[in-house]
Amino acid sequence: MKNKIILFLFLCIAFVSYSQQEISWKLLSNVTFTDKYFAEFDDYFMYPTFLATVKALEGKQVTIKGYFLDIIQEDNTFILSKGPMASCYFCGQSGPETAVEIHYTNPSNFKTDDLVAITGTLKLNRDDVNHFNYILTDCTGILLK
């Protein structure tokens, strides 16, 4: 019986360590930007340098709360923003670290400015200026309000 209890506790701890981690927008702000020239566009773009706390999350399943923006709508790709549409990165109110590109396996029914919690695998994007610096793939989400 004692062995079964020890095995059960071990499995519980292992399960918790492999489950998703809830992250915050404050954590995602652990990035600095420098202007970098991209010859293919003949222009400068903000190039991210992710700090260790963010790098440690790459490839891991994470959950983050934010405002859903359905302004891209192609290939089940959407945006999660720290703030609602009126204060989002695209409106000039914040930096690129306040928005995450999200890719769904199945389309969502969320609408712009819905407060949601999104879970997906985090990818850090340094070099593809056609995508966001933070990308979540294989996403699922729940409506919070």
Q: CA nearest 84: which of 103, 75, 71, 102?
A: 71
Residue 67: Cβ-neighbour burial (10 angstroms; 0-12, 13-18, 19+): buried
Domains (ranges, CATH) in the chain?
58-143 (2.40.50.140)
Q: Rounded to two decimals, what is the model's pTM?
A: 0.81
Q: What is the 3 state secondary structure string of 78-127?
A: EEEECCCHHHCHHHCCCCHHHEEEEEECCCCCCCCCCEEEEEEEEEECCC
Pair of tokens at residue 109: 């029914």
Q: State how far the Cα of 28 lies from the Cα of 122, in Å rounded to an integer.
A: 11
Q: Are the CB atoms for 81 and 99 separated by under 8 Å?
A: yes
- DSSP reduced 3-state for 11: helix
What is the CB neighbour count within 10 angstroms for residue 62?
20
pLDDT by residue, tens only, the chain of 145 residues? 555 444 444 444 444 444 679 999 999 999 999 999 999 999 999 999 999 999 999 999 999 999 999 877 667 789 999 988 877 665 666 788 999 999 987 777 899 999 999 999 999 999 999 999 999 999 999 999 7
